[in-house]
Amino acid sequence: DCIEVAGHAPVGGNLERNRWIIVTDPELKAEIAHYYAEVGRPYLSASTGVEADDRTSRVIDSSIHLIDHLHEVPALVIPLRLDRPPSGENEEGSAGGWWGSVLPGVWSFQLAARARGLGSTWTTFHLAHEAKIAELLSIPETVSQCALLPVAFYTGDSFHPAPRRSVDEVTYLNGWKQPVR
């Protein structure tokens, strides 16, 4: 149902090159979680000793919790594209256009999941082992894994928008650092 919603998101040229793999097999999830942790744990360990504000500390703790429990998540959803991202300036298209055909679908998937009581997050640590995961899931080498979306029922009771900088602080009018108001 959520992927059906995602399929209605805009894509460049209306070419529909996006695909999805849903992983629910416990052995496959465990192997993907192993590759994820192999990259994520050292990356986050480097952050744990650094002085951070409360919000950043919570994000790091939450990320470590995900590493420890990724194999337990009911479903791992991998958004795919039937091609590889552009790698150079002279290549037809651009990285912005390539990702611009992926991100709206993933965001639509995540919003649809949230509306159904499911939580998800965009993660990418597994991409350091993209070839190994592709082999594990029989994904052709011409197909790109774009992210890894752990999906589970939301268990909290305090879902609310994340604290962010004010719109006035991040929005400019007619030029860089030109205030909107």
Domain count of the fold of the chain: 1
The residue among 94, 106, 84 whose CA lies nearest residue 12 is: 94
Q: Is residue 162 part of a domain?
A: no
Using a 10 angstrom Cβ sphere, with 0-12 exposed, 13-18 middle and 19 or more buried, the burial of residue 28 is middle
Q: Is residue 160 part of a domain?
A: no
| pLDDT of the residue at 97 | 85
Q: Is residue 19 part of a domain?
A: yes
CB 173 within 8 A of CB 179: yes
Q: Is residue 72 part of a domain?
A: yes
pTM score of the predicted model = 0.87
Mean per-residue pLDDT pooled into runs of 10, the chain (181 residues): 93 86 98 97 79 79 92 97 80 78 94 94 96 98 96 80 87 93 84
Q: Is residue 173 part of a domain?
A: no
Q: Is residue 13 part of a domain?
A: yes
The residue among 102, 99, 86 whose CA lies nearest residue 16 is: 102
Domain that holds residue 142: 2-155
Specify the CATH number for the domain of residue 91. 3.40.109.10
| pLDDT of the residue at 60 | 85
